[in-house]
Structure 1
Amino acid sequence: MKIVIITVAGISSRFNKDVPEDEKILKCLYYEENPCDTLIYRMLEKAGYADKIVIVGGYKYEDLVDYINNQIPEDLQDKILTVYNDHYSDLSSGYSLYLGIKESLDNFNDIDEILFVEGDLDIDEESFSNVVESSKNVLTFNFEPIYSNKAVVLYQNEQNEYHYLFNSDHGLLSLDEPFKAIFNSGQTWKFKDMELLRIANDNFYENLIDDTNLGIIQKYFDLVENTSDVDIIGLKHWVNCNTREDYKLIKNYWEK
């Protein structure tokens, strides 16, 4: 069984900046004309290969469920399990991923792999397919410059281990060890070993519950013994949709 987890629980603060309260929206549901021109619709089209799609929501959760029931084709609806994160406003992104993994491991058997993608991304189909088709664990990167105030840094140290750096306050970053390679994370991952993933998820709940999703991801890849079991895949088109201007750029790409 193949599972995709998509997290869309956040409050979309930058996306809704200076917008009247009654016009605020969950950013993955935003569109200007066509209700199919949303981040979640486009991502679900790519995730349609999976046997199950777990969507973790929180902010404006009822709107998310209504959109899925009314706008998503029935063949995709049948694959979707929605999960409510009741800590979307007081815990970080890690808790959404924790819930998505827990629901997957508790409800489904014979899982071969779990692909996790953050729900505010737009990724080209070819790059996404490369992640899907890999037979290994996957780390991804994009080709944007690395700025400490917005990038999630992925680097490989001299022991060939992969590590992440991120400043949730959007300040400076400091790398305190030699490195072989450094990337701007593509915020899309694939996990192949469900036992290691369960260990990483349980460790998050017990020790790192206030952390971002990197708390789970870093622990999992620390547990993967052989770097030969990991693919590093570049995402050619990659936009992290934080603002409505970002959405316009994405929509222009779709139209082309």
Structure 2
Amino acid sequence: MKVAIITIAGISSRFNKDIPENEKRLKAVYYEGDSKNTLLYHLLLKCDFADKIVLVSGYKADSLGEYITSLSKELRDKIIVVHNDHFEDLSSGYSLYVGVEEAFRHEPDEILFVEGDLDIDDISFDKVISTLGNVLTYTYEPIYANKAVVLYKDDKDHYRYAFNSSHGLLTIDSPFSCILNSGQTWKFTEMDKLKKAADSFCEEAKGDTNLKIIQNYLDQGIEVRIVPLDRWTNCNTREDYRKIVKYWEAENEETD
């Protein structure tokens, strides 16, 4: 059983900045023009390999439900929506925890996790899927402290993450041999260790980001493979969204 988890619970504060309250939207299902021009739709197509797709909702959950009704039956039959009741008062880690707990109900042997505000080229995403074992990803984007999730290898040859959730400056407190911009997409294949990582998070660090669960997993001596993502955009603003749509339009023209 293969399960994909897509987290889309966040309040999209930067995406909805300076937007009147009645015009604010859930970023994952926002579109201009064609209703298929959403981040979620494109991620669902990429995750079609999975037997189940767990969507973790929160902010504007009703609009997610409405959007799902517009999808094909084939996609709808794979989707399981779970609600993060703490999307306003806890960080991204609790969304991943909720998603992992739901995934475990289906006795998976593999879980792919991708954050719901990303656009990734199909070839790179397929490499993540087809690569055997645990996968960490990185992008070729410049590393800016106010928006990047940093993946680095420390002096003990272990992979670690650094991120400033307030989007300020970053500090790395140890020597490192390499530093990369995380692609915020992961694949887990050791379910017992992922369960232990998630349980530890819930007991000790419930308010932390999703990186805490992932670090808990890596700290158990997990062997990983690193996959680069050739085209990767983190959709923080509506300007980012419009740039992504141009990619999609160019891809459609190439396939026509």
TM bucket, shorter chain: over 0.9
Measure the CA separation in 1 of the matches of 2:20 and 2:174. 46
Aligned residues: CA RMSD: 0.8
Counterpart in 1 of 2:23?
Answer: 23
Measure the CA separation in 2 of the matches of 1:78 and 1:169. 37
Q: Matched residue of 1:164: which SS? A: strand
Measure the CA separation in 2 of the matches of 1:176 and 1:201. 25
Unaligned runs of 5+ residues in structure 2 are 251-256
Measure the CA separation in 2 of the matches of 1:194 and 1:69. 31
Residue 212 of structure 1 deviates from its aligned partner by: 0.4
1:185-215 per-position Cα deviation (integer Å, ceiling 9, x unaligned): 0000000000000000000100000000001
Please point out which of 168, 175, 181 is paired with 1:171: 168
Amino acid at match of 1:186: G
Aligned residues with identical type, % of pairs: 57
Q: Matched residue of 2:197: which SS? A: helix
Counterpart in 1 of 2:228?
Answer: 234
Tell me the TM-score normalized by structure 1: 0.96
Amino acid at match of 1:122: D
Q: Matched residue of 1:224: which SS? A: coil
Measure the CA separation in 1 of the matches of 2:225 and 2:54. 23
Residue 233 of structure 1 deviates from its aligned partner by: 0.6
Residue 136 of structure 1 deviates from its aligned partner by: 1.2
Residue 73 of structure 1 deviates from its aligned partner by: 1.2
Equivalent runs, 1:127-138 vs 2, <5 Å: 127-138=124-135
Amino acid at match of 1:146: I
Unaligned runs of 5+ residues in structure 1 are none
Counterpart in 2 of 1:205?
Answer: 202
Q: Which runs of 4+ in 1 moved over 4 A?
A: none
Measure the CA separation in 1 of the matches of 2:138 and 2:74. 31
Counterpart in 2 of 1:14?
Answer: 14
Residue 224 of structure 1 deviates from its aligned partner by: 3.0
Counterpart in 2 of 1:219?
Answer: 216
How many pairs align?
A: 250
Residue 158 of structure 1 deviates from its aligned partner by: 2.4
Equivalent runs, 1:45-194 vs 2, <5 Å: 45-70=45-70, 72-105=71-104, 107-109=105-107, 111-194=108-191
Measure the CA separation in 1 of the matches of 2:174 and 2:30. 42
Please point out which of 229, 241, 244 is paired with 1:247: 241
